[in-house]
Amino acid sequence: MDDRLTDIEEVVAGMETADPGSERSGGRRVFVRTFGCQMNVYDSERMTEALSAQGYAATDTIENADLVILNTCHIREKAAEKVYSDLGRIRVLKEERAAAGSDTVVAVVGCVAQAEGAEIARRAPVVDLVVGPQSYHRLPELIVRSRAEGRALVETEFPEEEKFAHLPKRAPTRAVTAFLTVQEGCDKFCTFCVVPYTRGMEYSRSVADIEREARALVEAGVRELTLLGQNVNGYHGEGPNGRPHSLADLVRHLARMDGLERLRYTTSHPRDMSDDLIAAHADEPKLMPYLHLPFQAGSDRILAAMNRKHTAREYVDLVNRIKAARPDLALSTDVIVGFPGETDAEFEETLAVFSEVGFAAAYSFKYSPRPGTPAEKLSDQVPEEVKTERLARLETLVKRQQLDFSASCVGRTMPVLFERIGRRPGQLIGRSPFLQSVHAEAASELLGRIVPVEISSFGPNSLAGVIRPE
């Protein structure tokens, strides 16, 4: 991702199971808790599908689970700490279930598992399995082995075989939108970032493999796909002609699929925003006019220390070129405040980029030293209270820009893809092309359909509107 995928709030994955009968038939139950980015959400779905093929039904009540999976994120220290505090609570649950005669398997998977390996099982003996993000297709077999051997198992090698080839086909879904991982890993080595160490080197899935998965999702009713990759615009998978396909080629290829109405991709690195991808924004109507493009910092000195390989001016010029291709494009970004050595004046340069570009959304983070990364070793770490103060200033600006963007949507009629039932009777919730939630009075038959909606008002996190005749 560049920069990892957009960080999301932690999500409890209470997913539909492909085999709803197994819960009724007294089968085993799996609870998955997902931390971090969209790729972890995708991985949790694939894990749940693999386990469902083995008779596990998904549950969102942890107390009932025979298998508890924490799908973890290592990007910042806080994300990793949450895992250990969760494990403390899970230990109590596991003891209570054991007293009642039930066994509970506890698995830590994902990036904390990759980064900390056996240390997790040492620090938290409640853990039975530690499994890196490239090995979760082996979960079913590892569960059986750990029970048979009566000990914790750690699987954090980057396996030779490709996990995607060993996962079952996508299970039917009722969702209208879905994530699809097309690329993983990153060789950019930004000096603050753990991703190259936890997710490994860049790897792109083949077009045929992606197309197969996309088709299964579309046949199940999905209308919008978000192609995921840590550095998704560096995609270079094998094309149907045996030659490498760029992300632009992949987008054009998938856009030909009937029933698939919208495509997005995330997260991109400015250096890999090629001319053909920019052109795809101009001439591929299914590609949504919304782009997550992290810039991380506004000072060229800090950008160089981060090993970002672009300057602030190059970033702004790039944005202008993409907007020339797609004038209604809206942008979101990721920014870090308080990278080692960042002065007040350098922080002001980050604010200046915001003022110049104007973002529809942004994710801002205090720099968090990560073990094994070059920036962790820098001596001029910024004091916590300075980071806190800078983050607060930045977040005020981000909020204002987000509200300005929402306000600019009022009075516009935009195509909304309805994806779920709202809280109020007769209301549906959909997504605008710019990824905003839109509420409207709408018949439930419109679920899964794209409908013109005139935006009438906005709140802190959503828009409201009225359906207009097509």
Near ligand 5AD in 198-227, by CB under 6 A: none
How far are the Cα atoms of 46, 252, 255, 322 from residue 277, in angstroms, in the given order? 28, 10, 14, 9
Q: Which of 367, 405, 434, 458 binds ligand 5AD (CB under 6 A)?
A: 367
Q: Least separation, in Å, of the C-beta of 1 and ligand SF4? A: 5
Smallest gap from Cβ 194 to ligand SF4, in A, equals 8
Candidates 269, 292, 370, 390; binder of ligand 5AD (CB under 6 A) is 370
**What residue 231 binds from ligand SF4, ligand 5AD, none (CB within 5 to 8 A, per partner kind)?**
ligand SF4
Nearest 10 degrees: Cα torsion 196, 197, 198, 199: 40
Angstrom CA distances, 8 to 5, 75, 323, 332, 417, stand at 9, 12, 26, 13, 21
Q: How many CB atoms lie within 10 A of CB 58?
A: 25
Residues at the interface with ligand SF4 (CB under 6 A): 1-4, 186, 188-190, 193, 195-196, 230-231, 269
Output 88 or 371, the one with its CB closest to ligand SF4: 371
* Alpha-carbon span 40 to 5, nearest angstrom: 9
Tell the smallest beta-carbon distance from residue 3 to ligand SF4 (Å). 3
Q: Is 296 in the site for ligand 5AD (CB under 6 A)?
A: yes
CB of 270 or CB of 448, closer to ligand 5AD: 270
Instruction: Name residue 465's beta-bridge partners.
Output: 440, 455
Residue 306 tokens read as 């981060």
C-beta of 267 vs 402, nearer to ligand SF4: 267
Min separation Cβ 266 and ligand SF4, Å: 11
CA distances from 276 to 81, 228, 280, 282 (A): 41, 19, 6, 10
- Give 365 or 458: the residue with its C-beta nearer to ligand 5AD: 365
Minimal CB distance to ligand 5AD: which residue? 3
Considering beta carbons, is residue 33 or 76 the nearer one to ligand 5AD? 76
Could you say which of ligand 5AD, ligand SF4, none residue 359 binds, taking C-beta under 5 to 8 angstroms by partner kind?
Answer: none
User: Of 326 and 387, which has the nearer Cβ to ligand 5AD?
Assistant: 387
CB of 269 to ligand 5AD, least distance (A): 10
What's the closest the beta carbon of residue 5 comes to ligand SF4, in angstroms? 9
Q: Give the nearest distance from C-beta 233 to ligand SF4 in angstroms.
A: 10
Our finding on whether 7 is near ligand 5AD (CB under 6 A) is yes
342 contacts ligand 5AD (rule: CB under 6 A) = no
> Cβ of 26: how many Cβ atoms within 10 Å?
7
Q: Which of ligand SF4, ligand 5AD, none does residue 15 bind to, with CB < 5 to 8 Å depending on kind?
A: none
Residue 17 or 198 with smaller CB distance to ligand 5AD: 198
Residue 3 or residue 43: which is nearer to ligand 5AD going by CB?
A: 3
Contact segment (CB under 6 A) with ligand 5AD among 87-95, 361-369, 397-405, 457-465 equals 361-369
Residue 230 binds which of ligand 5AD, ligand SF4, none (CB < 5-8 A, kind-dependent): ligand SF4
368 binds, among ligand 5AD, ligand SF4, none (CB under 5 to 8 A by kind): ligand 5AD
Nearer to ligand SF4, 376 or 441 (CB): 376
DSSP bridge pairs for 154:
130
- Residues in contact with ligand 5AD by CB under 6 A are 3-4, 7, 75-76, 192-193, 294, 296, 334, 336, 365, 367-368, 370
